Each structure stands twice: as structure tokens, then as C-alpha cells.
Amino acid sequence: MPPWPDEETPRTPPPPGGRRYRLCIAYDGTDFSGWQFQPGRRTVQGAIEGALSKLTGETVRVHACGRTDAGVHAAGQTAHLDLARPWEAAALQKGLNALLPDDVRILRLARAKSIFHARYDAKGKEYRYTVWNAPVENPLLRRQALHIRTPLDLAAMRRAAAMLEGTRDFAAFSANPHREIGGTVRTLRRLAVSRRGPLVTISAVGDGFLYKMVRSLAGHLLRVGRGAVPADETLPILESRVRTARVETAAARGLCLWRVFYGRLP
């Protein structure tokens, strides 16, 4: 497949006589170099576009609501694509899943309005970061959860998380704050920490996220939970608007794009 331009495609309609389709995609990101097509690398976009080419005979670009990094998973990535020769949605979904590798699946596929755009129409996203907090690692979750052996102080993590909610300048939690398009102010509607047995989940819901922002938020909360950073340092770090080594980027394997919102955010 040829490399596609890096810039986002504007709101162009499907070709005359063609159709637009909306997809919900799940994938284990462990063995992918992220979502975006890269020559010579295994990517989710490349895998889906390759399967589409084999199935339909067309060269098709798949537009996602956003790009996930290498090693990051998705339970509800949303994307759209256009076909010049229309297919019945169920047949297209079945055909794609038969050709895709085992670590990526099209969970849902349906015809979409010609003006629908997976990125531009998205109102927000939910990411979940998963930790297996127990002395012994769970081998069934080793690819989807970070293993932390020592106990975590969830009360301290929740205090720190509450300081980060709202409309804030998150430059201190971006891995590349000086290159963020549209600035570094985002609205974090919810940053919650929950526990079910050894499984600790950090859930972040927002209107948009900066580069590696969720992994940075998770990394900070986990340092607070381990006692390496006091919860009260959260606000000074945020207000500094400077990214330093005090904010740790958590490992990619614990992060999952859980769902994308196209209506009102919860």
C-alpha cells in the first residue's frame, strides 16, 4: 500500500455512486507500530487498508478518530472509509475480519451519512489505563496491564486525580507540549481511579488529549499511589505548564482507547 499524506483529509463526500461506512475497531496493539500507516512497519491502519484492497480491489484510506501509539490497544476505535463500489455492510465486515490478522477485528460496520467524519465529528474519548496490582503478575493480562507489585494508595491517587479535572492547561502532561496543534488547553471531564480485586483502572474522559497525555496522567497518579510523589504536588506541577522528569510516562501496554463519543459527553 502507498503511504498516505500525513495531513488530515477535509470533509469530502464519497465518490459519485459510492458509499461511506463507519467502523468500530478493536485491536491488541502489542505487535503494532501504532495506528498510522508507516512504510515497512506493521500498523493497524496498514492492516485494514491492505485487507480492504484484497477484498474490494480498491485503494481505500481508512480515517480514524485519532491515532494510537505503538503498543496501545483499542476496544472502541472509530473510523470511516469510502468505497466507490457499494458493498452490503454485513458482507464487508465479514470479509474484512476473514482477512485481518488475529489481533485486530471490526466489531461493528454500518453505512454512514456522507457527511460523517470519524475525527471531526467526535465530541470526546474515554481512555482506560489498567494495572495489575498484586505480588504475582497475571499472565493472562501481561499484554494489557502494567504489573505493579507494591500496594497502591488509591485514596491519594483519587485526591490527585480530582485536582486534574476540568478545563486546564495540560502542557506539563504532554510529551511534546511545544508542538501541540491548537495549544495545550483541554477539558478533562473525568479522571477516576477504581479497583476490583488486584485490577486497578484509571479512566480518563475528555474532549481531546495531548500527545501521550493519558499515559502521563497515569504515570503521575501511579507515582502518587506508590508514595514517590505527594498528591499535593499535583497542582503545582499542572500550573507550572512545563514538562519535566517529575511526570512519568506510563508504559504503553496498559493503555486502551475505550470508546469515542459522538453525542454528549458523560
Q: Give me the active site residues, please.
A: 69
Query: Are 32 and 44 contacting, i.e. CB atoms less than 8 angstroms apart?
Result: yes
Cα–Cα distance, 151 to 261 (Å, whole number)? 34
* Torsion angle of the four alpha carbons 251, 256, 262, 266, in this order, in degrees rounded to the nearest 10: -90
Q: Which helix (H) or strand (E) holds 112?
A: strand 104-112
Q: Which helix (H) or strand (E) holds 165?
A: none
Comparing CA positions, the residue from 136, 206, 101 lying closest to residue 217 is 206
Q: Which helix (H) or strand (E) holds 236?
A: helix 234-240
C-alpha cell at 101: 490478522
Provide the residue type at 60 as one letter.
V
Comparing CA positions, the residue from 218, 162, 210 lying closest to residue 190 is 162
Determine the number of helices (DSSP H) and then strands (DSSP E) in the chain. 5, 10
Comparing CA positions, the residue from 226, 219, 221, 248 lying closest to residue 157 is 221
